[in-house]
Amino acid sequence: MPHLSRRITSLNDGGSDGWEVFYRARQMIAAGTPVTELTIGEHDIRTDPSILDAMDRAAKAGHTGYAMVPGIAPLRAEVAQRITDRTGTPTTSDNILITPGGQAALFAAHIALLQPGETALYIDPYYATYPGTIRAASGIAVAVPTRARDAFYPDAEQIRAAARQHGAKTLLINTPNNPTGTVYPPEILQAIAQVCIEEDLWLISDEVYDTQIWEGAHLSPRSLPGMAERTFVVGSMSKSHAMTGSRIGWICAPEAAIPALIDLATVTTYGVPGYIQDAALYALQQGAPLEDTVAAPFKRRRALALDILSKQDTVTAIPSQGAMYVMLDIRKTGLSGRAFAESLLDAHHIATMPGESFGTSSAGHLRVALTVDDDALAQALTTLCHHAESLIP
Ligand code: PMP
């Protein structure tokens, strides 16, 4: 056949996609071997039945045709109000584009901000799709490393140096963070904002975990002085409302950018199904109580995980304050994250994500998703710790 474009054949930069352990676990399950899966960020509960009822009502009322490409007016207004209420930054419907999930928003943001060949910075460790998303937008993906001993917090001066070295156009950050579970402290976000202003960078702020904070508070960097005009916020209902399969999220951007984003949506997604948007509107109107119900299991399990880990000192947790993950340092075993994850899967049928799947900074770590019931999690983590101890040379 004729050649595929280099843009898509190089999405993973010729390397692995980092999901080998996950796929192998799925193969074992398909072959009938039970596996405790602590891999992907998927809730163990399903979308609340009241949200499904709203979806059903909307579909049966006929909202099954093409929906407005920017999003239905009441949903854009509700998202804008939510952002205004939570961040104190005045936001209107004209700042909002409804997208089929946060991933589509990440892609649209990079397409909107990068000329082909321009550099986009992102922080390592990172959510697995980030570099591929940048490359799909014909950008050059450059990771800014962090260190385990700094809880993987980014260093603003390192971002500045990378921005200067590569003439970067954008910076992508994510707090609360996947894979580390950290929440960036205000002083780090302020320093990053300062660098964005001084180095004339666009900031793409992935805030899809903004309802999952166990310590401290979420600070949206768009609310910092001078940042609303250079920040695209990526939002999603996947994590906040257990609506991963509904594919619904948004971009909050400067008003002047929205018409171009609507043009892009017109030639890519052509909008989000109307009945999904109606269900999302219903879900957002339920406010914090529904979000707290969805977040509660992760808060509880994070405490449970830290308690189990505190009883031994072979495996240590990166101090985490949010999201549905804990990041574990297994370097005392002398194994790589990948080798440890493979051996844990083989020996105990427990699947975790190797830190190497999320970049080089988190080598020798494992990401554990807190997405199984409390008893199964406790048992898996206890086994994981014993396995680590048994490997100590
Ligand atoms: N950003 C981060 C950090 C994520 O973890 C995810 C999903 N795991 C997404 C974006 C995309 O989420 P969705 O497309 O389901 O909204």
- Phi-psi bin for 378: left (phi > 0), alpha (psi -120 to 50), beta? alpha
The protein residue whose alpha carbon is closest to atom 12 in ligand 1 is: 102
pLDDT tens digits, 215-236: 989 999 999 999 999 999 999 9
Cα 29 to middle of ligand 1, angstroms: 24
SS (H, E, C) the chain: CCCCCHHHHCCCCCCCCCCHHHHHHHHHHHCCCCCEEECCCCCCCCCCHHHHHHHHHHHHCCCCCCCCCCCCHHHHHHHHHHHHHHHCCCCCHHHEEEECHHHHHHHHHHHHHCCCCCEEEEECCCCCCHHHHHHHCCCEEEEECCCHHHCCCCCHHHHHHHHHHHCCCEEEEECCCCCCCCCCCHHHHHHHHHHHHHCCCEEEEECCCCCCECCCCCCCHHHCCCCHHHEEEEEECCCCCCCHHHCCEEEECCHHHHHHHHHHHHHCCCCCCHHHHHHHHHHHHCCHHHHHHHHHHHHHHHHHHHHHHCCCCCCEECCCCECCEEEEECHHHCCCHHHHHHHHHHHHCEEEEEHHHHCCCCCCEEEEECCCCHHHHHHHHHHHHHHHHHHCC
Give Cα separations from 222 to 54, 83, 90, 163 (angstroms). Answer: 32, 10, 11, 19
What are the distances in angstroms from CA 271 to CA 90, 91, 232, 338? Answer: 25, 21, 19, 39
**Token pair listed for 304:** 């449970």
Helix axes 49-60, 274-285, angle to 10 degrees: 140
Distance CA 141, CA 139 (A): 6
CA-closest residue to ligand 1 atom 7: 41
146: exposed, middle or buried (C-beta count within 10 Å: 0-12, 13-18, 19+)?
buried
What is the pLDDT, as a whole number, of residue 393? 76
According to the model, what pLDDT value does residue 16 have? 61
Would the pLDDT of 17 be above 70?
no
The reported pLDDT for the residue numbered 12 is 84
Q: Which whole number is the average pLDDT over 15-31? A: 87
Cβ burial of 18 (10 Å; 0-12, 13-18, 19+) is middle
> According to the model, what pLDDT value does residue 41 have?
87
| pLDDT tens-digit series, residues 134-185 | 999 999 999 999 999 999 999 999 999 999 999 999 999 999 999 999 999 9
Instruction: For residue 377, report the distance from its CA to the centre of ligand 1, in Å.
Output: 22
Phi, psi of 35 (to 5 degrees): -130, 135
Site to probe by mutation for ligand 1, drawn from 43, 133, 236 as the one with most ligand atoms within 8 Å of Cβ, is 236
Share of the chain above pLDDT 90, in %: 94
Instruction: Give the residue, out of 106, 175, 183, 208, with the most ligand 1 atoms within 8 A of its beta carbon, to mutate for a pocket test.
Output: 208
Task: Summarize the confidence of residues 297-313 as an average pLDDT.
Answer: 96
Decide if pLDDT at 212 tops 70: yes
pLDDT digits (tens, 9 = 90+) for 358-392: 999 999 999 999 999 999 999 999 999 999 999 98
Residue 188 tokens read as: 């780090």
Report if pTM > 0.95: yes
Q: What pLDDT is attached to residue 14?
A: 59
Provide the token pair at 296: 């509660």
The pLDDT value recorded for residue 94 is 98
- Residue of 103, 180, 184, 237 with the most ligand 1 atoms within 8 Å of its CB, for mutation: 103
Q: Enter the tokens of residue 240.
A: 């906040």
For residue range 237-268, what is the model confidence (pLDDT) as tens digits?
A: 999 999 999 999 999 999 999 999 999 999 99
**From CA 207, how far away is CA 220, in angstroms rounded?**
8
Least confident of 15-19, 85-89, 122-126: 15-19
> CA geometry: angle at 324 spanning 219 and 241, to 5°?
75
Cβ distance 113 to 201 under 8 Å? no
What is the rounded CA–CA span in Å between residue 357 and residue 56? 38
d(CA 5, CA 313): 49
Pairing label, strands 231-236, 202-206 = parallel
Q: Identify the structural domains of the chain with CATH numbers, from first to last.
A: 6-46+289-390 (3.90.1150.10), 49-287 (3.40.640.10)
- Residues in contact with ligand 1 by the CB-under-6-Å rule are 41, 101-103, 127, 174, 178, 206, 208, 236, 238, 244, 249
